[in-house]
Amino acid sequence: MMHPIRKLAVPLVMISALPFLDPVALGKTIYSVQFDYKKATPSSVYFTGKSREEIDRLCRTGEHASTADIAACSQRNFERISAQLNSTVKSLEAEFRKDDVDLRADNNPVALPYFEKGQSAWVEYRDNQCYAETYSLGEASMRYMTFWDCMARITKERISDLKSAEY
């Protein structure tokens, strides 16, 4: 006579051999793993098939929006603000490059390398700050909204700082 435990042991061994039923994997969700925003699919892909007016209305009002919709709207907002930052930075780099010619001619230190280092350090600060705010939520469905909103907020502040500085 076979003991009941042995009858149960065989199916459990067979189930644990199936990778898609791995108990550790079953506990993971898109909100419980690290992510790299630089590898994120652009929000335009999420909104494929929708008109600009539909997207604007959805993102402005949030009416009938799912969590994924709101996260995509937050990402879209960051993408727009990030494009503004890139434009501002390129303009300042051009000014530094031009002014550095005169500085170099007078044997003075040049500014552009320091601006570039500062911008790079700022990007690292922003990214780390937003990952910290996001991961502090734990496994939450608003994780991506929080992340993209943080990125947009800090990037707006950077644009304002750059525009107000006297270079």
Mind listing the pLDDT tens digit for each residue in 46-100?
999 999 999 999 999 988 889 999 999 999 999 999 999 999 999 999 999 999 9
The answer to whether the beta carbons of residues 52 and 26 sit under 8 Å apart is no
- Report if pTM > 0.85: no
Residue 121 backbone zone (phi > 0: left; psi -120 to 50: alpha; other: beta): alpha
CA atoms within 13 A on the CB side of 74: 20
**10-26, pLDDT tens digit by residue?**
433 333 343 433 444 44
What does the domain layout of the chain look like in residue ranges?
30-164
